[in-house]
Structure 1
């Protein structure tokens, strides 16, 4: 009826379900109508305590990632790889440089010299120092017991204010200064210097010696002789002054050994050609009239009166060419009752006129340099 199963069929189905489902066995036996059975099951579900909600079962399926893989373009991949390569290259280069600086210390180069011109400081006024030292030496070594004020006045001009103008002199004796020759200036600290001065003196009193016995010969008087002085000076107030007493020093008896000098190669033919004009020049040189024997425009002052030419001892011309030539002449003069041989370097030039040419002197210098 109405498509529902009959009671017999329903009972058999219930028994089979009870075997498979324990919950089916708990149903009342008298419930044979399916509608009643359904009502009873609904009532049991309402009255039973509600269990905690269970987490819904997840249907197993394929595992999904939280991101989506996207295909990367070729240009982006190349740029990324190139950047990584550059970065690692720099890291390796810095590592190598660091290792090199540890294993091989870098040499510190010497400071470069500036190419800008360096202006030197003011040099020591050597000329002024020599002049002041010469004035001091002349006053210091000249004395006269009858005129002590002259010596004091000469020293006061080159000494500091309020300095002792006696400078150790005992006020006795007499000595004259004939010549003063300043020499080397040796600078020191604090604007000081030491000036060498050679002084030619002539004592006017006899040589000091122990008292002579009665009837002994009088002591001789020393001839003129040179005395060496080293004078201390200082630059103060824009000028040079002597700072104190000097010290006497010895004068070498001989000079140092001179180097061997090689003279120019000689031209015998030219020396023979110019021997006559050179002799005429030295004759006029001693006579006081050189204008006629010198080249046009040359100026050679004559020698002073009292000098006579004995002769040209030798004349050697240097090898060369052109209109200007040079040679060496050895000349003997007579003066002061004696003869004296001297050496000259003579410069010649060729002077030409309409009908002839000749060699004339343009300059003459003493010595061989």
Structure 2
């Protein structure tokens, strides 16, 4: 009923399960319950088992032959030094190899020669100043003579001639001549420390005949005139001396032709504006008094000496320009020595400003047009 098994079937199935359980348990080997009993059984089995043959004794191996050297461990410092040296060596080899390859693949460019603009070093220059001084002294003594006093000329010449030289220098011990001025000029060096010095001398010959009246002055034979001399000198013993008689040369009557010089462009408006300033300055300049009232602060213009008076500023031309500093040219007529003399000046003006006004004043002045 309800599909459930009968009680008899249920009992039958239970018996069959118990039977199978018993059969499975009998098939398994019997295990001792006590572990000491199991250990005793295993010991009994080992004793009853056949005895195995003892292992044959191991034959000692023949010793290996000793090596002919002894290996010694390297110290860490020496090993590092050896490796570092090898590294440096290979680095240098690689660098030289790269440089060689670069010189082959990329040839070095040769720079173009640069022309030097520095001036060549000149050799020792001739002592021009000393040569001019010695030649000037010689010219004054050489062209001065007085038949009544030959010793004075001889002593003056001995000071600039070599020792033992003839101090007469060709003079016949006659006549009388005075030297009024000496102007040494160009020095032309020559070989063996020699040179030639040009000297211009202003001389005045005098009549050596006794005057007609006792106590009267000597009468000049000729008016004063310039004479040129070429004086030979040499540098020896740390000094410059005259080596022999000079040569008389002519003096040009006129100078060379001057080049055409372009003057500055004029500013007529500024010239009219500052004409009164320039007139006041030259008036104070000629008076020999204080010029500070007509000059700019800090300017120093010494007054002219006595005996000079201003006739007037004949012209004033201002240069074209701008700024607080301007320049111009003034022509001035002076009265001196009983005559009138016109001269030229370059005048620099500067603008001076004060709290209530500003004006132009003279900052500097000098003669000439340059």
Class of the TM-score when normalised by the shorter of the 2 chains: 0.5 to 0.7
> Aligned partners of 1:328, 1:284: CA distance in 2, in Å?
18
> Aligned partners of 1:223, 1:168: CA distance in 2, in Å?
24
SS at structure 1 position matched to 2:163: coil
Give 1:178 deviation, angstroms.
0.7
Give 1:164 deviation, angstroms.
0.8
Q: Which residue of 2 aligns with 1:205?
A: 207
Q: Which residue of 2 aligns with 1:225?
A: 225
| 1:161 maps onto 2:163 in alignment | yes
- Kept in 2, the 8 Å contact 1:206–1:220? The answer is no
> Aligned partners of 1:116, 1:248: CA distance in 2, in Å?
41
Equivalent pairs, count: 249
SS at structure 2 position matched to 1:127: helix
What is the root-mean-square deviation in Å for CA atoms of aligned residues? 2.1
> Aligned partners of 1:111, 1:192: CA distance in 2, in Å?
39
> Aligned partners of 2:352, 2:117: CA distance in 1, in Å?
50
| 1:119 maps onto 2:108 in alignment | no
> Aligned partners of 1:286, 1:206: CA distance in 2, in Å?
45
SS at structure 1 position matched to 2:125: coil
SS at structure 1 position matched to 2:170: coil
- Kept in 2, the 8 Å contact 1:126–1:185? The answer is yes
> Aligned partners of 1:113, 1:122: CA distance in 2, in Å?
25
Alignment of 1:318-333 (within 5 A): 318-333=319-334
Alignment of 1:83-102 (within 5 A): none
SS at structure 1 position matched to 2:369: coil
Q: Which residue of 2 aligns with 1:355?
A: 356
> Aligned partners of 1:172, 1:257: CA distance in 2, in Å?
41
- Kept in 2, the 8 Å contact 1:193–1:234? The answer is yes
Structure 1 length-normalised TM: 0.64
Residues 150 and 249 from structure 1, CA distance in 2 versus in 1: closer, same or farther, beyond 3 angstroms?
same
Alignment of 1:302-341 (within 5 A): 302-341=303-342
Residues 245 and 111 from structure 1, CA distance in 2 versus in 1: closer, same or farther, beyond 3 angstroms?
farther
> Aligned partners of 2:118, 2:252: CA distance in 1, in Å?
45
Residues 303 and 187 from structure 1, CA distance in 2 versus in 1: closer, same or farther, beyond 3 angstroms?
same
> Aligned partners of 1:273, 1:181: CA distance in 2, in Å?
44
Give 1:116 deviation, angstroms.
7.9
Alignment of 1:26-41 (within 5 A): none
Q: Which residue of 1 aligns with 2:148?
A: 146
Q: Which residue of 2 aligns with 1:251?
A: 251
Give 1:278 deviation, angstroms.
0.6
Residues 223 and 206 from structure 1, CA distance in 2 versus in 1: closer, same or farther, beyond 3 angstroms?
farther
> Aligned partners of 2:201, 2:131: CA distance in 1, in Å?
16
> Aligned partners of 2:204, 2:152: CA distance in 1, in Å?
17
Residues 143 and 220 from structure 1, CA distance in 2 versus in 1: closer, same or farther, beyond 3 angstroms?
closer
Give 1:292 deviation, angstroms.
2.2
Structure 2 length-normalised TM: 0.64
- Kept in 2, the 8 Å contact 1:329–1:344? The answer is yes
Q: Which residue of 2 aligns with 1:55?
A: none
| 1:365 maps onto 2:370 in alignment | no
> Aligned partners of 2:343, 2:119: CA distance in 1, in Å?
46
Alignment of 1:63-102 (within 5 A): none
Residues 286 and 147 from structure 1, CA distance in 2 versus in 1: closer, same or farther, beyond 3 angstroms?
same
Alignment of 1:234-245 (within 5 A): 234-245=234-245
Q: Which residue of 1 aligns with 2:288?
A: 288
Residues 171 and 111 from structure 1, CA distance in 2 versus in 1: closer, same or farther, beyond 3 angstroms?
farther
Give 1:119 deviation, angstroms.
3.5
SS at structure 2 position matched to 1:181: strand
Residues 119 and 256 from structure 1, CA distance in 2 versus in 1: closer, same or farther, beyond 3 angstroms?
closer
